[in-house]
Amino acid sequence: MNTSFNLELSPGRTLTGKWNGRSYRVERALGEGANGKVYLVSREEGLYAMKIGADPVDLQSEANVLKVLSQGEGSFRRFLLDVDDLEHGGEAYPFYVMKYVKGRQVKDYLEARGSGWFPLVGLRLLQKLSELHEKGWIFGDLKKENILVSGYGDVELVDFGGVTPKGRAVKQFTEIYDRGYWNAGSRSADEAYDLFSFAILCINLCGRPKTSFDKQILPQNRSSELLLEEARKDPMLAEYMPFLEKAMTGGYTCSKEAQEEWKRMVYNRKRQAGGNGVSLGAASWIKAGFALSLLMFVGVLFYYS
């Protein structure tokens, strides 16, 4: 989705915040979201991501979410670094600076590494969502464009414009991933909303292209059952179906429960590699298995520390 303003900042330009006085050098554009543009910027101490928007209220709301998350414990700690205004062409544009997340979009990562990595990536993503949910927030606009993956399946969420407090109406969404679009529930921000989007993500990344995603469907005919019927026809999705059915029909009491069930599926899949489901290369499973073992080892150390 394109932004509603045409601010363009050329590489090499130095930007200085109006209030805090911190300066940043523009390296390159990183992308656009529904409410702003993101640039890779640098200071002496390293690289950062700067999001600039046209609507001060909208961007400040997003920055407030990141500020709360940054002050807590966990993987979001110190995610937000600066909030200020930029004067450009006689106009003031609000911006915030956050940690620069290296990695590829999840679709590109899986194309490069192989589909055998998706079970691990999915587990890491569910862990990220569970952490966010435990803090009282719903991600909202969960889609492949907002997920970056690096290294051994390390996952980071980007574009927090859709993050919404639990119980409120979801602020921002993409139709294909939206529970309300498929008449499968409300747009109230609850954990099941993100899990529905996660299920659509699974179908998009692990299954064959679905005609139901591409063709126009009358609003009254959209349903989770329609999506599940399509998914059941796809042998690539066979092993995921028990999870998809529960995630798309509100069968999980919380994301932590979904995470634990996905974890069991991942380890069962690892033991049964070479059987039914997505065929995997041996090298992919060796690497993914090592990463999973390392993840469990770290978890044990954390639990008993």
Alpha-helix residue ranges (DSSP H) falling in 156-254: 191-206, 211-214, 224-232, 241-248
Number of CB atoms found within 10 A of residue 258's CB:
24
Place of tokens 């989705």: 1
C-alpha–C-alpha distance, residues 280 and 39, integer Å: 37
What value, to the nearest 5°, has the Cα angle with vertex 134 and ends 57 and 30?
50
Kindly list the distances between the CA atom of residue 156 and the CA atoms of 77, 153, 253, in Å, as whole numbers in the listed order: 13, 10, 24
Active site residues: 141
C-alpha–C-alpha distance, residues 135 and 57, integer Å: 23
Number of CB atoms found within 10 A of residue 29's CB:
14
